Amino acid sequence: MARIAVGGFQHETNTFAPQRATWADFERADAWPGFVRGAELIDAVEGFNLPIAGAVKTLAGLGHELVPLCWCSAPPSSYGERDAYEKVAGWILDDLAAGGPLDGIYLDLHGAMVAEHHEDGEGELLRRIRALVGDRIPIVTSLDYHTNLTPEMVRYASAMIGYRTYPHIDMAATGSRAAQLLDRLLKDRRPLYKAYRQIDFLIPLVWQCTLMEPAKGIFALIEDIERGSDKSGAPGGSHNQGIVSITHTPGFPPADIAQCGAALVVYGHDRGAAEAAADRLAAAIREREAGFAGKLYTPDEAVIEAMRLAQGTTKPVLLADVQDNPGAGGTSDTVGLLRALIARRAKGAVIGMIVDPAAAEAATAAGEGALLDCGIGAKIGYAGEVPVEAQWRVVRLGSGMFTGSGPMYGGAKFRIGPMALVTDEASGVSVVLAAKRIQAVDQEIFRHVGVEPAQVPILALKSTVHFRGHFQPIAETILCVQSPGAHVTDPAELPYRHLRPGIRLRPLGPVHE
């Protein structure tokens, strides 16, 4: 039995987004728990598809004594405010110092956090922890798929284990894998060699999905190399040779930091084998560069095509509003796609969620059946948009408190209200309004306000990829739409100032100088 400190600090930072992450954003619950510290952490995270939940369960099951630190996350947005970062980092260090003799540390980190005063949020946190606890204690972290994996993170953590799915359905499972690795490091006490590589092109999120090639094949290859069953005959591939674990993070492009982008790290007991496996995997990713591509529609093209397709099927045609994804820093209140649906009179279409606390509260005050006397959406004003004025009838109200049922947010306790379903009387287009920013990735969001997603002819979702986990099985087809949004799909359009020179801004794209 060992004494293991457990905690977490998660933020995915889109440095180009309009809203910053404040302490209040970390403190409050949304679909995930709010800030928790100390003994209450263990119960607070139980049952969520979160890395910390998987790690806690696995470490306790292995008989270890847990020393809870704190855990919190904020919705993806621009920079984490200095005050919020220093508060949380300070508590983690204080609680580690006060936690008595420790044998190991597990941390649930995102990996793409940029603070106002530190561009490598996780690298800086790990540096401080290493300085406090010394080199003897193993520190193992889990990481999001969208980590911008930096040399400092690799240096200061003993090992890091990333998700292997996008949509992320393996979050708790990744925490469990990290816990098992920490247990192994404590038992066998052999030094781990780290082989780190960065990939020299940025990969837009919309083409990072592991349900599709090339990401699907890359992650299959990772599992083959780990198992020692890669039969390609390439160096490092024929048998396992002491490879302990491989993490590949395709990166989070809208982050204006030097170390932005895809990377990988191979952990192994044999230096030569780890280096060879890292070379093999990096080469496999580079070979597939041209494959990270696909069709993007304008809002008008998408609505015309969706209305045509909807006539021949009873299953929903899905429109993914890929740039206004609140899970990547979007405001979830842009209205380009909504306006196109109304203009084409796409009767029966539903778009969700438009995050507009004022309109959701006004709908609640007006009551079901009433007409809303305000426009909806575009309250942040991204891209110069203005709210959509129409004959908005309040069809259904909701508290915003419900439990998710999909592969990603199953078990998550949503607290995003008030919510409302409102319908434009002239066009027959409906909008799901909410008060807090959460990505439209779970069917319960719609059921909560009386919409059965499978029965909607055209369903527009504020999401880039995650929606596929719960919605792809019910869909006729999926069209990806480029409407205004703070998660700009093509990184070549972003005004980077700090990115390292030499990296291509998209697959086969221009080189950043």
Site residues (CB under 5 A) for Zn ion?
144-146
Q: What is the 3-state secondary structure (H, E, C) of 60-78?
A: HHCCCEEEEEEEEECCCEE
Two tokens, residue 48: 């969520």
Q: Using alpha carbons only, give the angle 76, 78, 84 rounded to the nearest 5 degrees.
A: 85
Q: Which is nearer to Zn ion, 146 or 487 (CB)?
A: 146
3-state secondary structure of 479: strand
Are the C-beta atoms of residues 113 and 20 closer than 8 Å to each other?
Answer: no
Provide, rounded to whole angstroms, the least separation between the CB of residue 225 and Zn ion. Answer: 23
Q: Which helix (H) or strand (E) holds 82?
A: helix 82-98
Q: How far is the CB of 43 from Zn ion (least distance, A)?
A: 26
Helix (H) / strand (E) element for 199: namely none
- Rounded to the nearest 10°, the torsion over CA 160, 164, 167, 169 is -80
Output 277 or 408, the one with its CB closest to Zn ion.
408
What is the tally of helices (H) and strands (E) in the chain? 14, 20
What is each CA distance from 160 to 36, 138, 245, in whole angstroms?
A: 23, 11, 9
Alpha carbons 399 and 479: distance in angstroms, whole number? 31
| 36 exposure class (CB count in 10 Å sphere: 0-12, 13-18, 19+) | buried
Look up residue 449 and give its two tokens.
């306000």
Question: Could you tell me which of 211, 209, 236 has the C-alpha nearest to residue 222?
Answer: 236
Q: Which C-beta is closer to Zn ion: that of 299 or that of 469?
A: 469
Identity of the residue, 457 or 485, whose beta carbon is nearer to Zn ion in the bound complex:
485
Q: Is 201 helix (H, G, I), strand (E, B) or coil?
A: strand
Closest distance between Zn ion and the C-beta of residue 282, in Å? Answer: 21
**Closest approach of Zn ion to the CB of residue 201, in Å:** 19
CB of 399 to Zn ion, least distance (A): 28
Of 146 and 194, which has the nearer Cβ to Zn ion?
Answer: 146
Contact criterion met (CB below 8 Å) for 435 and 417: yes
CB of 392 to Zn ion, least distance (A): 33
The residue type at 450 = G
Q: CB under 8 Å to 251, separation ≥6 — which residues?
A: 112, 146, 147, 148, 149, 199, 202, 203, 260, 261, 262, 263
Q: Which is nearer to Zn ion, 146 or 437 (CB)?
A: 146
The nearest distance, CB 10 to Zn ion, in angstroms, is 10
Q: Which amino acid is at 382?
A: Y
Q: Which is nearer to Zn ion, 49 or 427 (CB)?
A: 49
- Least distance to Zn ion from the beta carbon of 499, Å? 20
Provide the minimum distance between the beta carbon of 175 and Zn ion in the complex, in angstroms, as a whole number.
14
Judged by CB, which is closer to Zn ion: 4, or 320? 320
The residue among 144 and 424 lying less far from Zn ion, judged by its C-beta, is: 144
Looking at beta carbons only, is 166 or 392 nearer to Zn ion? 166
- Nearest distance from C-beta of residue 56 to Zn ion, angstroms: 21
Burial class (CB in 10 A: 0-12, 13-18, 19+), 87: middle
Give the nearest residue (CB) to Zn ion: 146
The residue (of 76 and 484) whose beta carbon lies closer to Zn ion is 76
Min CB(39)–Zn ion separation in Å = 29
Q: For 91, which DSSP code?
A: H
